[in-house]
Amino acid sequence: MKFSSFSLPSPVLVPALSALLLPAAWAGEPEAVAPPAARTEAPDAFQWLTPSVDFQTRYEFRDQSGLDASNALTARARVGLLLGDFGGFSAFAEGEFTGALANDYRSNPTGSDTTYPYVEGNTVIGDPQNAELNQAWVQYEDENYLLKVGRQRLIRNKAAFIGNVGWRQNEQTFDAIQAGYERDGFALQYVFSNRVQRIFGHDANDAPPGPPLHDFEGEFHFVDGSYQADFGTVGGYAYLIDVDNNANVGLSNTYGLFTDWQGLHAEVAFQEGDSAIGGDYEAFYGHLSYTHKVGSASLSAGWEYLEDDFKTPFATVHAYNGFADAFVLDRIGLRNGPGGDYEGLSDFYLGYVQPGLPGGVTFKGFLHYYANDGLDSSYGYEADAVFVKQFTDSLSAMATASYFLADESGNYPDIRQVTVSVGYRY
């Protein structure tokens, strides 16, 4: 099995790594010699070190009309070490390692074979073999304040705009500085980032002539605010994204408001931007959903709307618009524009969640109908099913199945997808 070398962090990580390494050096300094009878406990330093392991192995089958079917068996391990707490200060470093045990698949959606495996003509399963530094940060946190510097996981507003793409084996993380304040139900966060580590790993193409897969580089500002009261939560956000190394994604400034109240979620956003595909644009986003409890089960219905050109390049897209991922490239902003089949998205969906089935299994089912933003052209339908079994607090298993049936009037392909995974976290 081949693993690539660790990636070098961007300049924003230099203070993070320096602060991380110095305490480790101090822990290794020789301490004063004590009488043997007095040395009955482990050194205090070991009480400040907390290891973490996140292991997942997964089989995934994916078949897209017009391409050969893919079969991937992968294993992923994230191994980390937390140092702290020292009066509110702590540090964390984590490596991420993914191996391809069965390699009959194409691990990225471009013509670049810099990721492995890469079987030309196969359906894409975005889990390349990889070894890299996933997180490395230092932080100060108390009851009201947070300051974190380094490579870190970010999830904002249910990951619809800013997320970690947690479904894929290789996680998306941000080289960033994060500051936060929280008190009496009010929360405010600000993040500056200059690089987003994408899911395609250390060996992915990072420069022309092909499209850069390794990361998004540029200048990114994320501001989130919310207030939680007895009636629910209200909030707003501003995400200012200027990607330098991918002209298709380009610049997008998004401003939004949302509320969550007794199962109802309502959200609106406005985006203005510029890209090499469509030039200057203005676009609207809306999301309305309602969830109702019936005994132990949950029923939900919703409508998510993205006007043509609206993009969410840093989102966890898999959490939205169906598990078959038919619209990932469109939503990221890599495929929309003149000449394409995508003209915005209207996603009408129903959901049903039932825990407590025989064997302690939880079932989740979803149905989707997709149309363009004008509701005058259909993209197709999708059905998703998920079965989850939690064996212990650390050990779980999951099986999923998705079927996207494309409308015959368009050029989207039919997609079938099945996964079976086992995960362990410590």
pLDDT tens digits for range 273-290: 987 666 899 999 999 999
Give the separation between CA 125 and CA 348, rounded to whole angstroms: 26
Q: Which CATH number fits domain 11-26+47-425: 3.40.640.10, 1.10.1660.10, 2.40.160.10, 3.30.565.10?
A: 2.40.160.10
Q: What is the reported pLDDT for 65?
A: 95
pLDDT < 50 regions, the chain: 1-40, 42-43, 337-339
- What is the structure's pLDDT at 132? 96
Strand partners, 54: 78, 425
Per-residue model confidence as pLDDT tens digits over 329-379 = 999 988 754 445 789 999 999 999 999 999 999 999 999 999 999 999 999
Q: Where are the domains of the chain?
A: 11-26+47-425
| CA 163 to centroid of chain Cα atoms | 4
